[in-house]
Structure 1
Amino acid sequence: MVDGGYAIYVEGTIEKAGGMSCRPNVPSDCVPAPLVRFRWGLPHGVAYGDCEWIDPTVANSSVTLTFPAVDWLHTTVGADSPTLRAQWIADADLDRDGETTLAELQSIDAATLLTRRRGYDLSGALDPIATVYDFLREQTRALGLRSWGQCGSAQNL
């Protein structure tokens, strides 16, 4: 992480039998995508404040933040969302090679893929969201606010 200049690194796959990847600007242009990989190193550091352990039954003077994997899939920024979607990751695989890269995320207009019609609300972002990469950046910053061991504030480093 130090060599890459990353504040956070996430690597994983989304998998769904019968899954599809559709062009962000042409939602009817789809191809089978039962498995899509991603490896994202992000340099955006965040300092969390006002953190507290949220389980009152456990005496603890320190806070350990645990980031559940589903936090990447919220359809809102900065707040908990009952709706979780991974389709944006599959649809951002522009070259349809089975891996969504940071370069692909940076090239997609957020207003094309992350629309209100598709259930996204980007209004809680600290910084403007112009690309899908910006959405990922904002979701990364919100991790500590949604973590197990909750924090009340986040500040860019």
Structure 2
Amino acid sequence: MSNRISSFLPVIHEDSEILILGSIPGVKSLEKQEYYGHPQNKFWPIIFELFNEDFTSDYQRKLQILKSNKIALWDVIDSCERKGSLDSAIKNENANDILQLLEEYPNIKMIACNGQKSYKNLIKIVGKNFAIPIVALPSTSPLHTISFDKKLQDWRHIKNRAS
């Protein structure tokens, strides 16, 4: 029996300037067909806090806030085998074509990696001295147990880069 899963299509627009890359959606996100769909994941609360927006569970509104702040979302991994949601359980992974995406969307000025797995996989693809700045941010996953305030502080990098 295969536990092969696939990531979602990118959420990106012509004027996107910041690309946030995760590893691959977890079980809850796949069930809901939404990026960062686990209720304990801090991704959306961080985004709402950074851009002074009132929190909503409306996924279309969440995507609109990303768009209005020129933020794109995708995952480094296109597909892999994994039981559960742990990045450490990922096996036999295939990468998304990040370079092709960046070619199609030349306004991207910064790449922010949501967690170390995303960062390490991206560096394998583009190398350490890539033309676009890459920042490794703490994972917003509930399994990454640093405080919300510390995560928020580190995630301010994207706010500081947003125009």
Fold similarity call, TM over 0.5? no
Q: Which has the higher helix share?
A: 2
Q: Which has the higher strand share?
A: 1
Q: Which has the larger radius of gyration?
A: 1
**TM-score, structure 1 normalization:** 0.29
**TM-score, structure 2 normalization:** 0.28
